[in-house]
Amino acid sequence: MPVWLSFNTQADWTLYGTPAATDYKLFVKSERMPANYPYTALDETGYGGILLVCDVMGYPKAYDAACPVEVKRDVRVRVNADLKAECPVCHSTFDVFSLDGHPLSGRAADEGWGLRRFSVGPGTRGETMVVRQ
């Protein structure tokens, strides 16, 4: 599934992105999540949506939000109170802030299924930050 999410200015990144350590947001274009993000026709959020985070060192990272165990578009990991991404169905957990989506517990850990990562960095057309496959 295509992935493209563009933050054109530093102000856009500060308002809609994840500019500080342990910030996180879920982007799902088909459900207009987050509601205030100005999606364009070019934006695509992949299979299960994009879980955009800022790791403990302050670097942005992005993952497909679909649980790799459940493999359903609408079964998405969510960041819990312990700052682990957790599937609401199988309860597998993943470290998205320091271990690149590595599975920590549950069936995902048993099978070695981590979250799929996307590339995050400055855009080639002057964008401040772009999430892409």
* Structure confidence by residue, pLDDT tens digits, 92-120: 999 999 999 999 999 999 999 999 999 99
What DSSP letter does each residue of 26-81 carry, written as one string? EEBGGGTBSTT----TT-EETTT-EEEEE-TTS-EEEEE-B-TTT--TT-B-EE-T
* Structure confidence by residue, pLDDT tens digits, 7-44: 999 999 999 999 999 999 999 999 999 999 999 999 99
Q: How confident is the model at residue 48 (pLDDT cuts 50, 70, 90)?
A: very high
* Structure confidence by residue, pLDDT tens digits, 66-95: 999 999 999 999 999 999 999 999 999 999
Residue 5 has a pLDDT of 97
Q: How confident is the model at residue 55 (pLDDT cuts 50, 70, 90)?
A: very high
**pTM of the complete model beyond 0.75:** yes
d(CA 126, CA 105): 40
Domains annotated on the chain, with CATH: 3-132 (2.102.10.10)
